[in-house]
Structure 1
């Protein structure tokens, strides 16, 4: 029986055939404890009130919707609007779930919060949230990403977290996840692994989605208030998929709204190891405690991946995204490194907004599609983060 997309997951953490808890028995108990604690705290009014207060007074929510008039006019066709998650404290959507996870860790009496980070936005946001609630924080980050995302590395150290460089394998996001998970396994009783996306074993895909769903709830209300209607298209970049699920969830029941997730095709989907288009080129498999679409080698191991955006180079994807692909409710498209760089520079110079390279993938799709649509159509893009962290890297790549 097909699940209602708006009422997922089931009691076992499955979104259709995807998700679950593919973990050792001793770790299953730890996951169940987190699920029980989350179920309890989510019902408490004092928790909801504290989170709402922090969203308003600490993060700066609600984030606005901006009509990119000059970009829309330059492209011709549909109107492009941006949900400005880049204006949040710490510069991205990540702070939304990091505050929730830090409050949960405090509620559970945990002694350390562990996490991975790719582009560093999750690391900065979690280090920020842990400083706020007074819990030690340890972030694992691939050495390649440490060198690429130096501004975020500096911020994490200033915020007081312990930064663990990961040099194995490709030394990027997947290896950072592996390393952080291994450290968590040394003491799951006292530690909590604050997963940075809608991935991993249950309850994390559900929990991170719930904390991020504030994006879509705000956007839906704001767009209707401004324009008296819903957007025709809602787009977001997809790596693990947290910003996209945060945006899409509020619109799942609106059949008139086309939902589009944009994956990184990197240097080309015809080049194995040089893209990270998991939903486009992968197949159902298992990774990091969940069933989902996976990019695999011939022997079934996770494949090497690449994206110019460090936060998107992951060979798996959230289980709910996997199910929404199978259902056809969300259309998953791709954007290349070249298109991403073009969108990054165009948005910067036409609208004065420097986007994160991750977010620029969704902007690239909107820029590609807008000219093919009538002028009375509206595309709403989740601008999931700002490009401060990427500015030096892009300048070096483009010779600016």
Structure 2
């Protein structure tokens, strides 16, 4: 199950990013988790059980799909999708929840705590906890609870308790704050199942490990489909789990350009976007050092995105490392570009993408016409957009989203 990456180091750093910036009482808990992860990550029985649930519960492997209609319309490069939207529960998140809950069971934990933004990690956690017979509590920003009501009900249907975070902006950052606080109070019996490639060591390495199945499959599938690797791998970036899952298996291939797409939101003014890598600077939050957006006091800034899974003021430390090393490029797409891509893929290919994934698709749609027909773009379609339909329908009704003419 090991990936091709050699980082983080023993202290949890990807270059200068990462680490374990936490209160002293948390360090033994994190070190216990790190030791368990190192013990089981290459254990044959653990790998066998993990792969069993990936196949039999989640339905892996997911295909790579050539968007023939979209490619023809745009001209230029071929656009392929890695169809993580076809996973059970509709997103890549279940790859990680299966792995972490299997780890929790081996550590003797009885309860699962998690945070969620768009609700996809929460739904995957609730489902996997139900499967494994574990008590589950999900923390979700109160704003996100309102805009993702369907996912809230799905979590509750599967037995999870959903706690609405009421502090601050009442979005993903606050959900993480409250989940961490609850974990510290009962760490002996509780496992904190972090959903993105963020947080203190060892979480960025754990999430990368369990999401790297995306890149391993995609690499082999592209070789089978085209006889070579893609020229571009593109993925949306909030915390960065779906992107690092795709990128990891291509990091060593100099000919493959890695592109992460952040949310430009309503614009690049303060509080109107969540483009941490593009517009932020180094800083520490939630126990790790990475790029982050800061306010005038140096605290995490207010952020915004139309997609609940991307409105986080920092980003996984490995992405910060890849940016500074020049191995990956990070760009941004606006709400309008993302919603246009949302409608375009729905109309042209009959595939409704998650708003998060629509940011990556938007950049691919801009890039493809500038390339030759011999070039290949692989987009990680990290989730399906069923969860976003009610939100988009309401925004179309009130005029805040105007569908492109192609659907009229």
Query: Any idea what SS the aligned residue of 1:312 has?
Result: coil
Match of 1:183 in 2: 182
State the Cα RMSD in Å: 1.0
Name which of 297, 308, 311 aligns with 1:313.
311
Partner of 2:366: 368
2:87 matched residue in structure 1:
88
Matched ranges for 1:199-238 at <5 A: 199-238=198-237
Residue 335 (structure 1) aligns with: 333
Which sections of structure 1, spanning at least 5 residues, go unmatched?
none
Q: Structure 2: where are the runs of 5+ without partners?
A: 398-402, 404-408
Q: Structure 1 CA distance, aligned partners of 2:4 and 2:171?
A: 32
Q: Bigger CA drift: 91-100 or 42-51?
A: 42-51
Matches within 5 A, 1:107-256: 107-256=106-255
- Tell me the secondary structure at the aligned position of residue 267 of structure 2: coil
Q: 5 Å matches for 1:40-119?
A: 40-119=39-118
The structure 2 residue matched to 1:357, chosen from 355, 358, 362, is: 355
- Partners of 2:339 and 2:193 lie apart in 1 by 30
Query: 1:5 deviation in Å?
Result: 8.3
Q: 2: CA distance between counterparts of 1:233 and 1:40?
A: 35
Q: Specify the alignment match of 1:389 in structure 2.
A: 387
Deviation at 1:43, TM superposition (A): 2.5
Q: Residue 14 of structure 1 corresponds to which residue in structure 2? A: 13
Tell me how far apart the structure 1 counterparts of residues 250 and 42 of structure 2 sit (CA, whole Å): 23
8 Å Cα contact 2:4/2:249 also seen in 1: no
Please state whether the residue corresponding to 1:164 is helix, strand or coil.
strand
- Name 2:324's counterpart in structure 1: 326
Larger displacement relative to structure 2 (329-338 or 184-193):
184-193
CA displacement, residues 3-30 of structure 1 (integer Å, 9 cap, x when unaligned): x982110011000000011111110000
SS at match of 1:24: coil
Distance 2:296 2:288 in 1: 20
CA deviation vs aligned residue, 1:282-324 (integer Å, no higher than 9, x gap): 0001010000001001111100000000000000100000000
Following the alignment from structure 1 to structure 2, what is the Cα–Cα distance between the partners of residues 173 and 118? 5
Tell me, in whole angstroms, the C-alpha distance in 1 between the residues paired with 2:17 and 2:179: 23
Match of 1:344 among 336, 342, 345: 342
Q: Cα distance, 1:254 vs. partner?
A: 0.3
Deviation at 1:257, TM superposition (A): 0.3
Q: How many residues align?
A: 396
Contact 1:5 / 1:324 at 8 angstroms: preserved in 2? no
- How many angstroms apart in 2 are the aligned matches of 1:119 and 1:163? 13
Deviation at 1:189, TM superposition (A): 1.5
Residue in 1 that maps onto 2:400: none
- 1:205-238 per-position Cα deviation (integer Å, ceiling 9, x unaligned): 0000000000000000000011101000000000
- Contact kept? 1:120, 1:153, Cα under 8 Å: yes
- Per-residue displacement from partner, 1:65-91 (whole Å, max 9, x unpaired)? 000010011111111000000000010
In the alignment, the residues of structure 1 paired with residue 42 and residue 341 of structure 2 have an alpha-carbon distance, to the nearest angstrom, of: 42
TM-score, normalised with respect to structure 2: 0.96
SS at match of 1:310: coil
